[in-house]
Amino acid sequence: MLFIGKYNYLTIERVTSVGMFLSDVEGEEVLLPNQYITDDMQVGDQIKVFVYLDSEDRPVATTQTPKIIRNEFAFLEVKDVSEYGAFLDWGLIKDLFVPFREQPKPMEIGEWHVVFLYMDQKTQRLLASAKIDKFLESDRLTVQEGEEVDLIVWQKTDLGYNVVVNQYHKGLIYANEVFQPLEIGDSLKGYVKKVRDENKLDISLQKTGYEVVEPVAKQIMEEVKNGKGFLGLSDKSSPEEIYQKLKISKKIFKKAIGGLYRQGIIKIADDGIYLIEED
């Protein structure tokens, strides 16, 4: 069985004037056009190809790397629009179609959108949708608190930023916990901060807990020593100042300097942190 919209490992069966025919274990064949054939490909070889549908909705193989695969999300540019919908650049010869019904607002040429690639059951065609919410799963949770996850930023709200978590779940990064520039379409790492009712996920861009406080404390001490016993940050500094200097949140910063203070290593003043010299 060929997996449309996904990578397939297929065997080269025969060579024709239009290209090579590849087959799966069940004997189903698909054409790899001449333009993708290289000199090292031989009959009997198994190769990795991406299978999609051509302009006549026939399965075709390519060795090109698409920017999105079926049942996943990606950030793509609008190349064209028509009376039927929009067309996105997904790295292949045939552009990816987004019907108007799958656009929260009409797309325009040159715009970038986070979209989901799916197989439309009615037409059996690969389509993209910018209606992200309906493709995210919350009933079956596959992550847990503290776990590192992959994120795609897809929407800014009054609360913060909605993100796609591990290509599967919806998560939220609260605005007051963002201390770095974030843009729609950004792909980055994060951490599951909390699992709330109905499997809603609060996401942090930094680790939480003691395992991150200890290395941060060491980082702060290095900065203090580099500053000849002084660092111009304190618990009264703004979150933005702390992030600009140390790339950490104010919450983690306060935990780290609190631990150093209790150990008698530093003194915290309004203008910054001072190293306590040993007698």
Residue 210 confidence (pLDDT): 52
Which of 91, 98, 137, 138 is CA-nearest to residue 114?
A: 98
Residue 236 confidence (pLDDT): 87
* pLDDT tens by residue, 176-216: 888 788 999 999 999 999 999 999 999 998 776 555 678 88
**Is the pLDDT at 32 greater than 90, yes or no?**
yes
Residues 6+ apart with CB under 8 A from 160: 172, 173, 174, 175, 176, 177, 178
Q: Kindly state the percentage of the chain with pLDDT values over 90.
A: 69
Which of 68, 72, 59, 55 is CA-nearest to residue 22?
A: 59
What's the average model confidence in pLDDT over 111-137? 96
Rounded to an integer, what is the distance from CA 128 to the centroid of its chain?
A: 17
What's the average model confidence in pLDDT over 49-60? 94
What's the average model confidence in pLDDT over 13-39? 95
Averaged confidence pLDDT in the chain: 92
What's the average model confidence in pLDDT over 122-147? 93
Residue 258 confidence (pLDDT): 87
Residue 206 confidence (pLDDT): 78
Comparing 1-15, 91-105, 233-247, the range with the smallest average pLDDT is 233-247
Which of 98, 70, 87 is CA-nearest to residue 167?
A: 70
Residue 277 confidence (pLDDT): 75
Alpha-carbon distance of 107 to 36, in angstroms, equals: 32
Domains of the chain from N-terminus onward:
6-62 (2.40.50.330), 73-133 (2.40.50.140), 137-204 (2.40.50.140), 210-275 (1.10.10.10)
Distances (CA, A) of 151 to 90, 184, 273: 19, 11, 35
**Torsion angle, CA of 65/69/73/77, rounded to 10 degrees?**
50
Residue 234 confidence (pLDDT): 86
Alpha-carbon distance of 153 to 9, in angstroms, equals: 32
Residue 64 confidence (pLDDT): 96
* pLDDT tens by residue, 209-266: 555 678 888 889 999 889 988 999 988 888 888 888 888 788 888 888 888 888 888 8
* Global pTM value: 0.78
More confident residue, 259 or 39: 39
* pLDDT tens by residue, 143-164: 998 899 999 999 999 999 999 9
Residue 88 confidence (pLDDT): 98
